[in-house]
Amino acid sequence: MEIALGVHSLGQRRGGRVHAFLLDDGHDLTVIDTLFDTDGARILSAISRLGHTPRDLKQIVLTHGHRSHLGGLAALKRLTGATVSAHGWEADIIAGECKAQPVTWVLTRPVRTWWPTYPFQLGVNLGFGKHPACPIDRAITDGDAIGPLQVIHAPGHSPGHLAFYWPERRALFAGDAIVTWPTVAPGWPAFNLNPTQHRASLNRLAGLDVSVIGVGHGEPIVQGAAEQLQTLARAAAGS
């Protein structure tokens, strides 16, 4: 699904309705995150549907080091030769040298809303089903530019969590700072490692001029994105 010019949303049911974004800036292709499956096939077939070859993928940028977003990384790196970039604080997890930080074991209330995310709490705490490890090529941080994107350090969900902004498209890629599955929220509450940082990150993202928001879990926000972003920042501030 093309949610803005050259912004293609790719999702799958596994990994918590995880989403990745394939960007075509008219020159090169960039992908944000790599979905859950370890073969990268959904992303490769999207590249070919756009009339491109795997070698046209120049950048793989990662929002953070959680399993759902890293599945296809090693395969895509091998098949495309793209440069892999992430925040340096997530690099050891992505490279398979250590586990992601544990989260609470407690089930978030209301339970009827949040129970679908509980397997991911168990998964991150127990280290289930590791992703195929892949070292990053480049450590990026706030203020860097990569492909068409501005890099925004948006910690809270994890220390090196990044958001990305494509100003010409007014497109924000919020990673797991915002979710629309199982409900629209400023992230999965149980995964909010540092609530103070998370609030500050949401507040900062709310200052951007947006028309679409790609999120880590659930469908992108394509209607009333600016208003929803303000509402989510207020919700984070009140939580």
Which tokens sit at 166? Answer: 């494509």
Which of 84/193 has CB closer to Zn ion? 193
Which of 53/196 has CB closer to Zn ion? 196
Minimal distance, residue 63 CB to Zn ion, in Å: 8
Minimal distance, residue 175 CB to Zn ion, in Å: 7
Which of 68/108 has CB closer to Zn ion? 68
> What is the 8-class DSSP label of residue 179?
B
Q: Among all residues, whose Cβ is closest to Zn ion?
A: 66
Which of 6/163 has CB closer to Zn ion? 163
Give the footprint of Zn ion on this chain (CB under 5 A): 66, 68, 176, 216
Cα–Cα distance for residue pair 86/95, rounded to 1 Å: 11
Minimal distance, residue 20 CB to Zn ion, in Å: 11
Please list the alpha-helical segments (H only) found in the chain.
14-17, 41-49, 67-70, 73-80, 91-94, 111-114, 118-126, 195-205, 225-238
Under 8 Å between Cβ of 209 and 45: no
Q: How far is CA 50 from CA 19, 54, 83, 223, 226, in A?
A: 18, 11, 20, 25, 29
Minimal distance, residue 82 CB to Zn ion, in Å: 21
Minimal distance, residue 48 CB to Zn ion, in Å: 26
Phi/psi at 4 (5° precision): -155, 165
Which of 90/176 has CB closer to Zn ion? 176
Residues β-bridged to residue 83: 59
